Chain A
């Protein structure tokens, strides 16, 4: 089954404790992206990757890191989480063939930073 898998689904942590949210897709998609969703602010893109070893900042990259060493994986790293990073995070992937960028989303990771 074609899917985007994020782990964990729920995470509670404390300020300053490094964490990684994993994202994996099995559709051989070139494009992957991370978003955060906050009430009243909609979806905001954190980072995206057009292909392996190619990553770019989105609208709200501060406090986050990503890497794209393999096509299927796109982990999101918070080196020193802060309470303002408490949010719902989504990973997405798509193929850019045909230029349509139809994105497939993971189920989300709800992060609370205390």
Chain B
């Protein structure tokens, strides 16, 4: 079945550091891929998405490229800020699974000033 694996956290970085959070997936079809972010005390919100191979999703300085050959969708940001501290979830949606979102376990990101 479909699954999503993302790197365990917490990930602790200093402000202005480069961020990578790894996400790999297995899917039988051609899924859409998502990154959601959960700020402290809030619900999840969509950060970015990609719907086909080689698509790049981007938002708020974050980017992720849909790599079918490596089944990956790594999240990157060139210079993180304290306000980026949150939990980040990778997810996929596949027509073959009734479009159910399959979630990674989440990666907590802590940015120190």
Contacts and interface: CB of A to CB of B under 8 A. Distances in A.
Interface of A: 4, 31, 33, 40-43, 45, 48, 50, 56, 58, 90, 92, 96, 99-108
B68 interface: no
Counting chain A CB atoms within 10 Å of each CB, the highest count among B89, B99, B101, B106 belongs to: B101
B74 interface: no
Contacts of B99: 31, 96, 99, 101
B66 to A, nearest CB: 13
A105 B89 CA distance: 13
Interface string B56-82: 000000000000000000000000000
B104 A105 contact: no
Nearest to B95: A99
B89 A42 contact: yes
Interface in B15-55: 32, 34, 42-46, 49, 51
Interface of B: 32, 34, 42-46, 49, 51, 89, 93, 95, 98-101, 103-106
Contacts of B44: 43, 90, 92, 103, 105
Contacts of B100: 45, 48, 58, 101
Contact of A108 (B42, B104, B106): B42
Contact of A42 (B43, B98, B105): B105
A43 B89 contact: yes
A4 B95 CA distance: 24
Contacts of A96: 99
A101 B101 contact: yes
